[in-house]
Amino acid sequence: MSIDKFSFNLFLGLLFSGSLAYGQAARSPFSSYGLGEQYGTALTQSMGMGGVGFSNPQFMSVNNQNPALLVYNRLTVFQAGLIGEQRTQTSDTLTEKSGNGNLNYLIMSFPVKSGWWTTSLGLMPYSRLNYRLNYFVPVAGTVSDKVDVIEEGTGGVNQFYWSNGVSINKDISVGLKIAYLFSSAENIYSNLLTTTVVPISAKIIDRTFISDFQFSPALSIHLDSLTSKNHRLNIGIVYDFKTNLDAKFNRRIERWNPVAMLDSATVIHNQPGIVTVPGNLMFGISFSKYPYKWTAAVDGSFSDYSLYRDLEGKNPYKSNNWKVAGGFEITPDRNSLGQYLKRVTYRTGVSLENYPFLANGNMVRDFGITFGLSLPVTRISTLDLALKVGKKGDLNLNTIEENYLKLYFGITFNDQWFIKRRFD
C-alpha cells in the first residue's frame, strides 16, 4: 500500500472512531466550572513549544491557532492527534490519582489557490467536564446524622470548524474560523442518608445540550528583519467573538435503594436557554530564521469572564482568564541526507495561565513546561510528540493542587493534490 493510501485510510479510520474516543479524560475538580475545562486549539507541534502559535507560520503542518497563517500550507495536510494524561490531586487530607486518554484532533487542510488561499476542516474537543466531589453535610436538628453528598460531571462540548486563510500581499494575510459547537454535559447531584436502616439515595440529573456557531477573525503580519534577509518577524492576532450558545436543559429526579431505582420523574424537558461565552483576544510575536531553521515565539491571551452567563443568567466566575507562553524550536538541517537526527525538529516551552474562578478565595494558576519532537517518516511527513509537565493550583493558597503529566502524539501526512498533468 502506498503512503498516500495508507494516510487516507488511517485518517478515515480515526474520523469514524472519533465519537468513541471523545469524552474520555482524566478526572479534575477544576473542570466543574461552567462548560468545563477548555482544551484550546494547539496541535502537537505547538504544544511542544508551550502552546504558542498565534504568529509563527508552520509550512509542513497546520497552524490551527491562527487561520490567517493557513496560506503557508501549500500542500494537502492530514493530521490526527491523541492525548494521554495522568493527574494527581492533593488536599490537606487526601490524594487521588486518575489517568486516561482520548482523541485530541482530526485536521485536514489544502490550498484552494497555492500561496493565496488555503482552507481547513477540523474536529476537536472544545471543553470537557470530568469531576467527582464527595463531602458530608450535617442534618439540621440532629447530633450525628449526616448526608453523604456526591457531585459528578461528565461530557462537554466538541467543535467542528471550517477555517480559511487568504493572502492580501506578501506581508499580510487574514483569516476566519467558523466553529460549530455541539454536544452535551451532564451533572449529577446525589444525597445519601446513611443513618437510616435502608439507605435511600436521591439523585438530580441535569443535562445541558449545546449547539451554536462561534466566529473567529484573524490577522497575520510578516516583516523581513533589518539585520538579515534570512530572518523574519511575525505578528499574529486572533479574536473569538462573544457567543450566545443556544442550549436545551433537562432535569430528572431519581430515588434509589442499594439495589435498584425505586422511581423517577422528568421535571424539566428541553427547556430553551442561552449560555453566554465571553470573547477571547489572542496575540503573538515570533522571530524566525529561514529556511526551516529555528523559531522563537511569545503568545498571550485575555478573556473577560465577567461577561459569562449560565442558563440561569448567573456568573460563577470571579476573575478574568489570561495566559502567557513562550517557546522555541530548531531543526539543525532539514535537508541532511546522512544524519537523521539533524532532520528532527526539537521544541521546548513554558506557559502560565490564570483561571477565571477562585478556590479558597484565591486565584488558581497553572504553570507548565513542555518538550517536543517531530520525527520525519518521509520527505514531507512526520510523527509528532510533545510532553507537558505542570501544576494547577497551590495547596497553601487553594487547599488543593493538581500535578499533571500530558503526553501528546500526532501524525502529520503531507501530499500534493490538484496537479495539472503535463503528459498523458
Which pLDDT tens digit goes with each residue over 397-417?
Answer: 999 999 999 999 999 998 766
Cβ neighbours of residue 109 closer than 8 Å, sequence gap 6 or more: 62, 70, 73, 76, 77, 118, 119, 120, 121, 163
Segment among 5-9, 137-141, 342-346 with least mean pLDDT: 5-9
Q: What is the dihedral of CA 28, 32, 35, 38, to 10 degrees?
A: -30
Segment among 97-101, 262-266, 380-384, 385-389 with least mean pLDDT: 97-101
DSSP letter assigned to residue 67: G
- Kind and range of the H or E run holding 117: strand 117-138
Residue 276's pLDDT band, with cuts at 50, 70 and 90, is very high
Statement: residue 27 has pLDDT above 60: yes
Cβ neighbours of residue 54 closer than 8 Å, sequence gap 6 or more: 65, 66, 236, 237, 238, 282, 283, 284, 299
Q: Which amino acid is at 25?
A: A
Residue 158's pLDDT band, with cuts at 50, 70 and 90, is very high
Statement: residue 261 has pLDDT above 80: yes
Q: Which residue is associated with the grid cell 498571550?
A: 300
pLDDT at 302: 97
Statement: residue 87 has pLDDT above 50: yes
Q: Which amino acid is at 83?
A: I
The alpha carbon of 73 is separated from its chain's Cα centroid by a whole number of angstroms, namely: 22
pLDDT at 164: 97
CB atoms within 10 A of CB 387: 16
Cβ neighbours of residue 112 closer than 8 Å, sequence gap 6 or more: 118, 119
Residue 388 to residue 390: CA distance in whole angstroms: 6
pLDDT at 135: 81
Residue 418's pLDDT band, with cuts at 50, 70 and 90, is low
Residue 47's pLDDT band, with cuts at 50, 70 and 90, is very high
pLDDT at 24: 53
Residue 224 to residue 226: CA distance in whole angstroms: 7
Statement: residue 327 has pLDDT above 90: yes
How high is the mean pLDDT of the chain? 88
